[in-house]
Amino acid sequence: MEKVRDHDEFYLKEDRKNNPKEYFKFIYNISRKYVDSLESCNILDVGCATGDFLYFLNSVFKNSKFTGIDVMDKLLDKAKDEVEDVEFINADIYTGRNLPDDKYDVIYMSGVHSIFDEYEPWIDNLMNFKKDTGRIYIFGIFNPEEIDVLIRSRKSSDSGPWQVGWNIFSKKTIANYINKKGNQCKFYSFNIDIDIDKKEDDPLRSWTFKIENEQREVINGLQILHKFYLLEII
C-alpha cells in the first residue's frame, strides 16, 4: 500500500505566530520550570513546520539557542523567512537522515509521532539527542487504553495513495519502551477549553464538540476522538 503525508502543507496557509495555539501554552507551562532552572538552554523542535512554535518559544524563553528540523522544504523555507535567530535543518527524526550532531537540554516534538508505524526509531533518535540531564516533551494523541492503532485514510473520491498521520500508540506501550531504555516518563492530559470550528474544505483537520458539563472533545473526519497528552521523558 502506497503511503504519503502531504496534508501538512496546510501550514503554508495559516499563521499562528501572533495567535499561538492553546497547546503551545500548555507545553510551555509544563516545561518552563525546567527551562527556567538553566542558565542557558539548547532547544530543538522536531517537526517544526513553518516555525510557529519556535517563534512562540523565542518570545518566552530567554538565553536560549533554538534549532528546528522538518522534512518538507516548503515549510522550512517559510520558517526561515519568518522566524529569526533559529537554525532550520531538513532532517528526518525517523530515519536519522541529516540529524544534527548537537546534544540538547530540551527537545520538543508535537503532532509528529502519529505519522510513524513504529515507535522505536524516533524514540531512539530523540534519546540520542538529549543531554544526560535533559528533557523531552512529546505532544499528540495517545491511547489511554492498552491498544495500539494504525490508521490509513483517503477521501472517497480519491484513488491515490493513503494518507498517514493519525496512528494512536497506547500510553503503556510507549512508557514500557522508555522505561526499558532506562528513562522515566510522565503523561499530562490536555483538555482544550476553546471551540474549534469544522473546516468543510478539509475534513482531516480537527474540530471540537461539547459533551456533558460543557466539556469539549476533539474529533476529525476519520471519526476518531483525539485524546491529547504531553509526554515528558526524563
In this structure, the chain runs to a length of: 234
For every residue of 104-137, DSSP letters joined together read: EEEEEEES-GGG-S-SHHHHHHHHHHEEEEEEEE
pLDDT given for residue 15 in this prediction:
62
What distance, in Å, lies between the first and last C-alpha atoms of the chain? 37
Q: Are strands 130-141 and 228-233 parallel, antiparallel or unpaired?
A: antiparallel
Going residue by residue through the chain, which has 234 residues, state the pLDDT in tens, using 9 for 90 and above.
554 545 444 445 566 577 899 999 999 999 999 999 999 999 999 999 999 999 999 999 988 999 999 999 999 999 999 999 999 999 999 999 999 999 999 999 999 999 999 999 999 999 999 999 999 999 999 999 999 999 999 889 888 889 898 999 999 999 999 999 999 999 999 999 999 999 888 888 899 999 988 899 999 999 999 999 999 999
- Grid coordinates belonging to 191: 483538555
pLDDT given for residue 6 in this prediction:
56
Backbone angles phi, psi at 81, to 5 degrees: -75, -30
Crossing angle of helices 120-129 and 171-180, rounded to 10°: 50
pLDDT given for residue 75 in this prediction:
93
pLDDT given for residue 17 in this prediction:
72
The answer to whether the predicted template modeling score (pTM) of the entire model surpasses 0.75 is yes
pLDDT given for residue 63 in this prediction:
87
Tell me which H or E stretch contains 103.
none
pLDDT given for residue 7 in this prediction:
47
Rounded to whole angstroms, the Cα distance separating 209 from 226 reads 12
